[in-house]
């Protein structure tokens, strides 16, 4: 974990809002996407750690602190993937009819 990741974890565990982190110099001026991916990574590592240690209290605290983040990231990734899908017209790529101007 880097310094930004640890600072975001501390911020969330203290009840801080993630929107205050985006672009904030104290956190290294991360973008909203970067913050969301960092939070997703924190959640995954913390859940693994809590399960290995059998610490259900810590696991619940992390899940509450990071709630909702994974859904936001999944929606964004799905949106990005949808925009990158090639669109073909006709039965084969390159065989679509081109409109003809009539005068």
Confidence of residue 79 (pLDDT cuts 50, 70, 90): low
Confidence of residue 56 (pLDDT cuts 50, 70, 90): confident
pLDDT recorded at residue 103: 59
pLDDT recorded at residue 21: 92
Domain ranges of the chain: 3-81
Helix residue spans in the chain (DSSP H): 3-13, 32-53, 56-65, 69-84
Highest mean pLDDT among 10-14, 59-63, 90-94: 10-14
Residue 31 φ/ψ, nearest 5 degrees: -75, 165
pLDDT recorded at residue 91: 47
């Amino acid at each position: 974990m880097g310094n930004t990741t640890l600072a975001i974890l501390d911020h969330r565990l203290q009840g801080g809002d993630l929107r205050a982190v985006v672009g904030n110099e104290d956190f290294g001026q991360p973008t909203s996407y970067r913050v969301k991916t960092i939070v997703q990574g924190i959640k995954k590592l913390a859940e693994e750690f809590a399960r290995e240690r059998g610490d259900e209290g810590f696991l619940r605290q992390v899940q509450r602190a990071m709630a909702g983040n994974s859904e936001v990231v999944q929606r964004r990734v799905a949106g990005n993937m949808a925009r990158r899908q090639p669109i073909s017209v006709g039965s084969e790529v390159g065989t679509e009819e081109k409109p003809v101007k009539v005068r």
